[in-house]
Amino acid sequence: MPLVNMKPLLRDAMDNNYAVAAFNLVDYGTVKAMVKAAEELNAPVICQTSSKTIDYWSHEEIVSWVRTAAENSPVPVVLHLDHCKDIAMIEKCAQTGWTSIMIDASEFPFEENLEMSKRVRDIAEKYNVGMEAELGQIMGVEDDMVVDEADSVLTDPEDAKKFCDALDLSAFACAVGTAHGFYHGEPVVDFDRIAAINAATKTPMALHGGTGLSDETFAKAIARGSAKINISTNLKHVFVQSFVDYHNAKPKDFEPLRLIDAQYTACKDLFSGFIEKFGGKDRGSAFLSNMK
């Protein structure tokens, strides 16, 4: 089916107590594996891209991969732009076929962040796509963005309300103690803050830094309003490790299709695990019938 807008999908997730898994795609094989994993579970899925991945490939290539995979599948698929502060890049995504865009101006003071986010809201409205924006600073490394622990700022629920009221977001990214990349030690997630932000904003929350969180953390975050959960680092590792493992196990096999198939299967298994954990199973057709 055609790609779907993220806004109604995340409302459905929040209303029905599940979260849509959002994976940072690497190449066509990973896109195909995401959509297939979702299809096998009758679940919605978000294929997302960082700006770095778009710079490596191109807008056109990525749109054609995700559209091809989605159009051959009955489940709802979103193509979303992850953290980006380049407004020209954001607009080009909306123009070329992304069905959701993110502005991350969280490094700027509140008013400047809001002003930039409003410009992106106008773009989202113009192209009728979903939108995510961020307030507070999430720790860790996400592609070219690095936030040290000392610079990370947890999101204040009252500021969150002001921000969300002005923007009408599909997803609100905020800092609640999670971090991009692998955790060093036990993550300290502020569940009360998630609940307070959600009560104040009534906006589906995007939980960033999904790699390394426990099943219990996911369940508690979803119960408090996290409707989109991002996974990137875990995929990068499975993508590389499955390739290396195959070659180590069969060092004389130089048939690339067998090798990329082993990688595809490992990535698909990873995606299925998260989709199930987040409660996405059987929500694909349920969402589509609610939309009718």
Binding-site residue positions for dihydroxyacetone phosphate: 181, 209-211, 230-233
Q: How far is CA 28 from the centre of its chain?
A: 17
Label the pairing between strands 179-180 and 139-142: parallel
Rounded (10°) CA dihedral 169, 174, 178, 181: 70
Q: Which is nearer to ligand 13P, 226 or 234 (CB)?
A: 234
The DSSP bridge partners found for residue 47 are 23, 79
- Using CB atoms within 10 A of its CB, is residue 148 exposed (0-12), middle (13-18) or buried (19+)? exposed
Q: How far is the CB of 181 from ligand 13P (least distance, A)?
A: 5
Active site positions, annotated: 82
Q: How far is the CB of 180 from ligand 13P (least distance, A)?
A: 5
Q: How far is the CB of 203 from ligand 13P (least distance, A)?
A: 17
Rounded CA gap, 292 and 278, in Å?
24
Query: Residues within the annotated binding site?
Result: 83, 104, 134, 180-181, 208-211, 230-233
Q: Which is nearer to ligand 13P, 38 or 81 (CB)?
A: 81
Q: Which is nearer to ligand 13P, 59 or 208 (CB)?
A: 208
Rounded CA gap, 118 and 133, in Å?
10
Q: Which is nearer to ligand 13P, 209 or 279 (CB)?
A: 209
Q: Which amino acid is at 144?
A: D
Interface residues with ligand 13P (CB under 6 A)?
A: 24, 82-83, 142, 180-181, 208-211, 230-234
The token pair at 22 is 């959002």
Query: Residues within the annotated binding site for Zn(2+)?
Result: 83, 104, 134, 180, 208
Q: How far is the CB of 191 from ligand 13P (least distance, A)?
A: 18
DSSP 192-248: HHHHHHHHHH--PEEE---TT--HHHHHHHHHTTEEEEEE-HHHHHHHHHHHHHHHH
